[in-house]
Amino acid sequence: MIQIYGIKNCDTMKKAFKWLDDSQIQYQFNDYKKGALNEPLLRQWIDTLGWEALINKRGTTWRKLDDASKNTMSNELAVETLLNTPSMIKRPLLIKENEITLGFKAEEYRQLFS
């Protein structure tokens, strides 16, 4: 089963949901704001992707973060930061057969599901 993680109200999430629904691809949605995120899962993602890929640096949550935190960000600090502010994680995060895809681009999804 495809797993998709994010925040339901996010516009990019809505585009991904629509694409998956229109393509008749079944998935399970995991909402960060409803407890879908935990430390072991987050550590696994950071180990696989690195915190640099996981954090949405274009988002307002990252931009509001103090410079000291930004300049000293590490895997450990990212775990703590993202557990406290999951809206900072790029969305959606989609898992298909242990392959993680960040963000939504229709062409990437087409290739992933072809």
Q: Which residues have a Cβ under 8 Å from the Cβ of 24 and sit 6 or more positions away?
A: none
Mean pLDDT, rounded, for 34-60: 94
Return the active site residues: 10
Confidence category of residue 73, pLDDT binned at 50, 70, 90: very high
Mean pLDDT, rounded, for 89-94: 97
H, E, C per residue of 50-100: CHHHHECCCCHHHHHCCHHHHHCCCHHHHHHHHHHCHHHECCCEEEECCEE
Mean pLDDT, rounded, for 69-80: 94
CATH of range 2-112; options 3.40.50.1980, 3.40.30.10, 3.40.50.300, 2.10.10.100: 3.40.30.10
Q: Which residues have a Cβ under 8 Å from the Cβ of 108 and sit 6 or more positions away?
A: 101
Q: What is the pLDDT of residue 68?
A: 93
- For the chain, the structural domain boundaries read 2-112
